[in-house]
Amino acid sequence: MLAMLGRLGTEEDAGPAGVPRVASENAAIALAEHGVRSSVVRLAPSVHGEGDKAGDVGCGEICQSTGNVHRNDDRGVARARRDERSLDATEKRMANEEFGRALESTREIELTVTGRKSGREISIPVWFVWDGDKMYLVPVNGSDSDWYKNVLNEPTIRLAAGGAQLTSRATPVTDPARVGEILDMFRARYGARDVERYYPKQDAAVEVPLT
């Protein structure tokens, strides 16, 4: 309507019939004549281009100022999102590699869980073993351990070693045969005597992916 008038439109101007999107404007003006205050809000499509029926075709700089984009620019938006995801993946891989190197020089890591009652973070030192891209933790008091119960409630945990950190989701292991295999790895790493001394109840473990 503004283009046809050649000037800034006001509430006194009625749009010509047959022009797209004018009906709502004329309805608002008709309501105003009866003392009803109303307004028209345009929610333009987020992408414009040739063939649009309701968009601002060829919007150019206007689209930039209003936050809309031309269809031809949509490929650039998608590419930017792919680049951002790629950067996130690279940063995560580097962090995982740093954490992996830190594991090689320590026998104990810090485990942080979320308290199932308090909702607060709780950090404790734990022993660990890893096999390939999986880490295994064993709760000292087995399934009665508080941190294990917290993991059952909220499996997202954070591990810290040598200044490096890793956030992952823990999976409980309760199969007796598998728990036994994990405990064998603990015995090989820390010694059978200490494992028997510090882990009196051996009915549970936790698997943590490192990637």
CATH code for the domain of 150: 2.30.110.10
Measured CA to CA, the distance from residue 206 to residue 211 in angstroms comes to 16
Measured CA to CA, the distance from residue 61 to residue 118 in angstroms comes to 53
Task: Express each pLDDT in 75-132 by its tens digit.
Answer: 655 665 665 555 455 555 555 677 777 788 789 999 999 999 999 999 999 999 989 8
Residue 9 belongs to some domain of the structure: no
Task: Express each pLDDT in 22-31 by its tens digit.
Answer: 777 777 777 7
Instruction: Provide mean pLDDT across the span 7-25.
Output: 66
> How many structural domains compose the chain?
2
Is there a single domain that holds both residue 123 and residue 42? no
Q: How confident is the model at residue 60 (pLDDT cuts 50, 70, 90)?
A: very low
Q: Kindly give, in sequence order, each residue whose CB lies less than 8 Å from that of residue 116, ignoring residues fewer than 6 positions away.
A: 149, 150, 152, 153, 154
Given 45, 64, 89, the domain boundary residue is 89
Q: Kindly give, in sequence order, each residue whose CB lies less than 8 Å from that of residue 52, ignoring residues fewer than 6 positions away.
A: 45
Most confident of 1-15, 42-56, 193-207: 193-207
92 SS3 class: helix
Contact 205, 137 (CB under 8 A): yes
- The pLDDT assigned to 87 comes to 45
Residue 164 belongs to some domain of the structure: yes
Is there a single domain that holds both residue 112 and residue 202? yes
Measured distance between the N- and C-terminal CA atoms of the chain, rounded to whole angstroms: 58
